[in-house]
A = this chain, B = another copy of it.
Amino acid sequence: MSLHLYNTLTRQKEAFKPIHEGFVGIYVCGPTVYSDSHVGHGKSYVSFDIVVRYLRYLGYKVLYVQNITDVGHLLDDGEDRMLRQARIEKLHPMQIAETILRSYFEDMDAMGLVRPDISPRASGHITEQIELVKALLDKGYAYEVNGSVYFDVRKYADYGKLSGRTVEEMLEGTRVEVRSEKKNPQDFALWKRAEPEHIMRWPSPWGEGFPGWHVECSAMSMKYLGEQFDIHGGGLDNQFPHHECEIAQSECATGRPFANYWIHNNLVTVNGQKMSKSIGNQITLKDAFKKFDPLVVRLFILQSHYRSTLDFSDEALLGAKSGLEKLLNTVRNLRTEAAKARGESRAAAAAIDLESYRSRFLAAMDDDFNTPQATAVLFDLSREVNALLSLETKFSAASLEAIDALLEDLGGRVLGIVPEGSHAGLRADMKLEADLVQLLVDLRAEVRAQKLWPLSDRIRDGLKKLGIVLEDKKDGTVWRKG
């Protein structure tokens, strides 16, 4: 088996073969930085985080480019998203971009996402976009009207090949323009003339204006990954028109194929309903994090396939929370036991067929990044480890460490939910916290040895109030965050 992925362009699962052996160039449509990310963004970027992590796990050198849209993303009424937010908050659009960009990376960092290698900004690549528009005009694929430049879709026979839409279907989603300067309603803007009130504007061969939304992704992906590259990703809502337009303008400008594989993640619903600003049921990640640890949200996203819709509800997240706690408790108890074993000479090997777990896990991931199956394998392993740890047998350090290494490899490196290092279930910055809990656990053992039962209860109750639950096992007490 080798990695197969579903290519939207061909509508089938294909064996993955990069252009240059051992190297993968991937471009993912990033956020428009005008308001805090919602759980839909969470699903999209966690999905592509897995793609990048898994490709790296397989040994590929991956160059991961994810753009930042800070200009040109227009609303249905034609107003620029950034400018509208700037107008509401009475700030320069670049202040909004700066603040929201920081908020975006805060949220992504919290969920343990690997940062993109390059995060190019649309406003930072005006020159490159103008060059692309010039090339399309030179080759006759575009035309200028009143200081704006449009792509002429009739000149590109393959228009529609990604979304599979006919010209009639495309028109349905298009805003009716009363007095259009376009030749065909489905033509799209490459460059727009700036009206006097438009703050974000740059000089161009066609007068002062700003780039159309689609053109940034063509200009920036090709700048950093080359004219033809391996993977282009994005949310399903970007398939049409955004990605269709990207393909048209890129392939016409260069005369060669653009991205080889197109990956689209499906969308998030909330309690069964489509999430949208107009319904008012959008949940920001920051709000979700108030109720649930960011890693719970991450696991929740991984427990459905990226090409399935994901229904967001508190009940469903409570399930992921309980799952994550069980997994992390297993890891912590395993590591505690391994630490004890290191000081003793033990012969018994913990007999788990690790290679079978690994191959089941990889088979799931190779099958179009099937994370629900892969996490299920991880939970199976966790259950078997738990059963093992409850036995009287004293297992050898080496055999316990081998299990830990597999859990960290699959659950950590690939899925990003099992933490590294020796304080499992806790992040590195919480080391003192773990040491303080351990001091209390040790004290409790001492007062129990002295039969000072009220003090023992006092410690257990005091910890419980702080959300820490003790469990007395045969050979000692383990604790978990309840």
Q: Give the B-binding residues of A (Cβ under 8 A).
A: 63, 92, 94-95, 98, 102, 115-121, 123-128, 130-131, 202-203, 224, 429, 432-433, 435-437, 439-440, 442-443, 446-447, 452, 455, 458-459, 462-463, 466-467
Give min CB distance, A43 to chain B, whole Å. Answer: 24
**A75 CA to B263 CA, complexed, in Å:** 43
Which of B203, B436, B452 is in CB contact (< 8 Å) with A437?
B436
A92 contacts B224, C-beta separation under 8 Å:
yes
- What are 17 A-to-B residue pairs whose CB atoms are below 8 Å? A63-B92, A92-B224, A95-B117, A98-B115, A98-B117, A98-B118, A128-B202, A432-B433, A433-B433, A435-B466, A436-B466, A439-B440, A443-B443, A443-B459, A447-B455, A452-B452, A455-B455
Q: Which residues of chain B come closer than 8 Å to A440, judged between CB atoms?
A: 436, 439-440
The 7 closest A-B pairs by CB, nearest first: A124-B124, A436-B436, A439-B462, A94-B118, A126-B127, A127-B202, A95-B117
B-chain residues with CB within 8 Å of residue A462 when the two chains form the complex:
439, 442-443
A contact patch SS:
helix
With A437-B436, A439-B440 as contacts: A98 and B119 at CB distance below 8 Å: yes
A355 to B13, CA, bound (A): 73
Contact A127 B203 (CB under 8 A): yes
Are the C-beta atoms of A131 and B203 separated by less than 8 Å? yes
Name the CB-closest residue of B to A115.
B102
When the two chains form their complex, are residues B118 and A92 in contact, meaning their CB atoms are under 8 A apart? yes
B458 and A443 form a contact (CB under 8 A): yes
A63 to chain B, nearest CB (A): 8
B463 touches A439 (CB 8 A): yes
Report the separation of the CA atoms of residues A115 and B95 in the bound assembly, to the nearest whole angstrom.
11
Interface hub of A125, A433, A447, A452 (most chain B Cβ within 10 A): A433
Complex CA–CA separation, A118 to B86 (angstroms)? 13
- With beta carbons under 8 angstroms apart, the residue of B115, B127, B436, B452 that contacts A127 is B127
Which residues of chain B come closer than 8 Å to A455, judged between CB atoms? 443, 446-447, 455
Q: Which residues of chain B come closer than 8 Å to A116, judged between CB atoms?
A: 98
Query: B residues within 8 A CB of A446?
Result: 455, 458
Q: Which listed residue (B117, B118, B125, B432) contacts A124, Cβ 8 A?
A: B125
Closest Cβ of chain B: how far from A227's Cβ, in Å? 16
How many Å lie between the Cα of A63 and that of B437 in the bound state? 46
Inside 8 A of A458's CB, which chain B residues have their CB? 443, 446
Alpha-carbon gap, A117 to B429, bound state (A): 29
Please measure, in the bound complex, the distance between the C-alpha atom of A115 and the C-alpha atom of B103, giving whole angstroms. 12
Chain B, Cβ-Cβ closest to A436: B436
Q: Whose C-beta in chain B lies nearest to the C-beta of A70?
A: B124
* Bound Cα distance A443, B466 (Å): 15
Known: A432-B433, A436-B433, A443-B443. A94 touches B224 (CB 8 A): yes
A134 to chain B, nearest CB (A): 9
Q: How far is the CA of A435 from the CA of B436 in the complex (A)?
A: 10
Chain B residues lying within 8 Å of A95, measured Cβ to Cβ, are 63, 117-118
Contacts of A119 in B (CB 8 A): 98
A443 to chain B: which residues have CB within 8 Å?
A: 443, 455, 458-459, 462
